[in-house]
Amino acid sequence: MDKSIIVSECVFKAVRSSGAGGQHVNKVSSKIELTFNVFNSLGLSESEKELLQTRLKLTKEGSLILTCSESRSQHKNKDLVIKRLFESLSNNLKVKKKRMATKRSKASILKRLKNKDHRKNIKNNRRKPDLE
């Protein structure tokens, strides 16, 4: 994964943010929409592209769309959305460890059975004795 190539392939679009804000919010486009095409990227290898295709929610064209409107500044939102892009790419490129099936030890099985037997005896001793 080559970060400099990926950033150059990103398409940024400034959009008006939603929500309350008064007069100024209607004039300023501070929300940033990042579009990154995974299929046509030169910064990713073929195996990375296949892995991302299965793990990420992509459009039909193979694009990943991220938005950010946390800050009032367009530049801060752009930095945040780039940071989010690399976090999502790196998180989805990690190979997950295969789970190894394990078996309980004989000592733990015996301990559980011994505890069950002990509880059974306690509850049996609470009963009224048979007079027959």
> For 22-75, how does the pLDDT look when each residue is reduced to its tens digit (9 = 90+)?
677 667 788 899 999 888 888 888 888 888 888 888 888 888 899 998 888 889
Give the CATH number of domain 3-93: 3.30.160.20
> How far apart are alpha carbons 82 and 53 in whole angstroms?
19
Residue at 49: amino acid letter? K
pTM: 0.66
* Residue 31 and residue 17 in contact, taking contact as beta carbons nearer than 8 Å: yes
Question: Residue 69: CB partners within 8 Å, gap ≥ 6?
Answer: 17, 18, 30, 31, 32, 77
Confidence of residue 120 (pLDDT cuts 50, 70, 90): very high
Query: Average per-residue pLDDT in the chain?
Result: 87
Domain extents for the chain? 3-93
Q: How many residues does the chain have?
A: 132
- The structure tokens listed for 12 are 């940024």
